[in-house]
Structure 1
Amino acid sequence: MAKRTREPVPGRYPVAGGEVELLRDLDRPDGWMIVVNGVPQSYVDLSDPTYLDFSYVQLIALVIDALPEGPLDAVHIGGGACTIPRYISAKRPGSRHIVVEPDAALVRLVREQLRLNSVPRLKVRVLDGRTAVAALADRSADLFVLDAFTGASMPVELATVEYMTEVARILRPAGTLVVNVADGKGLPFAKRLIASVRAALPHAALLAEPGILRGRRFGNVIVAASAAELPLGTLTRRAAGGLTQARCLAGDDLTRLIAGAAPIRDGDPVLSPVPPPGLFT
């Protein structure tokens, strides 16, 4: 007799960072959302890992889908429900993942409730993003996904030139960095982040919904970067016609956008942006 798969149990669970609420999607039988301290953090469909609910995750996937075909060696800073590793493994069988998540209780919850063990060739390291990266080998990754948040803010120590230099060391010559950052009017933090990224990886692009790009609302910006040229034509075309319609800025357009923005360096007195009250209610 086949072993029955354990069903997730909705509810509230304590984790190191506070409290996680596990919510069932009433529109999709196997859809589940993780909400951390009131902030929606991850969504997975356990029967269809290629279904992506959050707009910014769709943009991350758009960048990944534009990479050359075949399995990827990927590093993920920020674990959550491991939405992107599940997606990659479904689309690119044979891919290998190192997932870095500092909250051991959250990892345990995802493993017990959201079938993390079903994702092939995935290793989780319960460490902070700086410590974990220092231990990774040179030129060992095709893809580096930086999607780490404390609450709704990106840790500043993961946005510095020094950190991006470590990421560049880990990536293979044609490897790609993808960063998720949230920002508000004028995108001041995102611009400085992009300056930090470009100090280590010269070819960069920004993808964002027009309203966020124009500073009309707080939201997520996706940054892609590499030591090699990015597939800008593909990114621009797919961003404009995808489920989440977005603009892609690169080259001179991106340079003009971030003009005057200084890279962030370790020790700089920089505050990561905080979303306005009521954004997630």
Structure 2
Amino acid sequence: MAKRGRAAGRNSTEKTAGVVDVPKGSRPDGPVEGIYYIDTGDCELIPDQDNSSGWLLRINGVMSSHIDLADPLFLDFEYMRWIAALVESRWPREPRPKLRALHLGGGACSLARYFHAAYPEARQVVVELDGKLADYVRGWFDLPKAPLMRLRVGEAREVTESLTPQTRDLVIRDVFAGSLTPRPLTTREFNGHVQRVLAPGGIYVVNSGDAPDLKNAREDAATIAETFKHTVIIADPAMLKGRRYGNMIMAGSDVPFDDDPGLARRLLGGAVPAHIWNDAKVRSFAAGAPVRHDPKTVDPASPIAP
């Protein structure tokens, strides 16, 4: 679920004609407008009519990503700008920190391209479930090469569980199946795996999509608050008040988030002004919401109750 920072140049329900036929085993050489079959369905690559170097990627009917081939520091989707602002508040671009980032959910790798430009010494891994989509993205867009950025095909939870403890400074969860994140990536147990992977001072950031009732967002917030000592939420006022469908950015860490007036000004100054809630407000928002857990497993050796 993606909200753009300005009006889209094309109606979100409009479809381009025909399917682009890419021979099996070949990789496209640059972006070509059209619909493409991928392992999980189809995706559509759409030229940005407001930006001659911009492209939009829609996956299974849902707008997923925007890329500006000429400027990797341009983020068209507002929620990505909020993530970038939060990360840069924790790690200013100078003196060029060697940020270690894990992106769960690939899409067009918009944020990975951004952080490569903002932090040239960064080492990033992007996890994408759909292998064919990953291959297309490698061919369409000018992605950084390994070891600066690795695009890894795999399931986000399995990859996270396989990683060595304290090897990432930043973990970003931006995975959707339709309008919601798959439940196995939202539980207390999964958050514990993320916490284990994060180095001291690291940040876990999630893109939480929800309807106006905010039930999903409250459960997400409750689960993150149960795992991490310090939390924040970033969203626009209408979303925070439950007046529309949209995105909230939530983050957890083992160290406090600075009360940074520069961050607050940056969030308010965007095309879609946003507010940031401190830990106390997050916990108040989440109060009473259930903490999500993995399903209980049954020991096959256990006796069956009569």
Question: Structure 2-normalised TM-score?
Answer: 0.82
- The whole-number CA distance in structure 1 between the counterparts of 2:145 and 2:157 is 27
The letter for the 2-side match of 1:255 is: R
Structure 1, gaps ≥5 residues long: 269-281
Percent identity over the alignment?
A: 36
1:142 aligns with 2:169: yes
**Aligned partner of 1:93 among 95, 102, 120:** 120
The correspondence of residues 106-145 of structure 1 with structure 2, limited to 5 A, is 106-117=133-144, 121-145=148-172
Aligned to 1:66: 89
- The whole-number CA distance in structure 1 between the counterparts of 2:152 and 2:257 is 29
Aligned to 1:242: 270
**Aligned partner of 1:252 among 275, 280, 286:** 280
Q: CA deviation at 1:236?
A: 3.0
Aligned to 1:37: 60
- The whole-number CA distance in structure 1 between the counterparts of 2:79 and 2:146 is 22
The letter for the 2-side match of 1:137 is: T
Aligned to 1:14: 37
Write out per-residue CA displacement over residues 108-148 of structure 1, whole angstroms, 9 at most, x where no aligned residue. Answer: 11011123355861112211111000111100011111101
- SS of residue paired to 1:232: coil
Aligned to 1:168: 195
| C-alpha spacing 1:120/1:137, structure 2 compared with 1 (3 Å) | closer
- SS of residue paired to 2:196: helix
Q: CA deviation at 1:232?
A: 3.1
- The whole-number CA distance in structure 2 between the counterparts of 1:196 and 1:59 is 21
1:215 aligns with 2:238: no
- The whole-number CA distance in structure 1 between the counterparts of 2:222 and 2:30 is 45
Q: CA deviation at 1:16?
A: 1.3
Is the CA contact 1:56–1:220 (under 8 Å) kept in the aligned structure 2?
Answer: yes
Q: CA deviation at 1:157?
A: 0.8
Aligned to 2:17: none
Aligned to 1:230: 257
Structure 1 stretch 198-207 or stretch 244-253: which is displaced more? 244-253
Write out per-residue CA displacement over residues 44-64 of structure 1, whole angstroms, 9 at most, x where no aligned residue. Answer: 101100111111111111111
1:265 aligns with 2:288: no
- The whole-number CA distance in structure 2 between the counterparts of 1:256 and 1:223 is 14
- The whole-number CA distance in structure 2 between the counterparts of 1:45 and 1:236 is 26
- SS of residue paired to 1:132: helix
Structure 1 stretch 43-52 or stretch 234-243: which is displaced more? 234-243
- The whole-number CA distance in structure 1 between the counterparts of 2:214 and 2:283 is 14
Aligned to 1:193: 220
Q: CA deviation at 1:28?
A: 1.4
The letter for the 2-side match of 1:259 is: A
Aligned to 2:19: none
- The whole-number CA distance in structure 1 between the counterparts of 2:57 and 2:145 is 18
Q: CA deviation at 1:6?
A: 4.3
Aligned to 2:14: none
Write out per-residue CA displacement over residues 134-169 of structure 1, whole angstroms, 9 at most, x where no aligned residue. Answer: 111100011111101112221111010000010000
Aligned to 1:48: 71
- The whole-number CA distance in structure 1 between the counterparts of 2:282 and 2:145 is 40
- The whole-number CA distance in structure 2 between the counterparts of 1:117 and 1:77 is 17
The letter for the 2-side match of 1:246 is: A
Aligned length: 264
1:153 aligns with 2:176: no
- SS of residue paired to 2:132: helix
Is the CA contact 2:225–2:283 (under 8 Å) kept in the aligned structure 1?
Answer: no
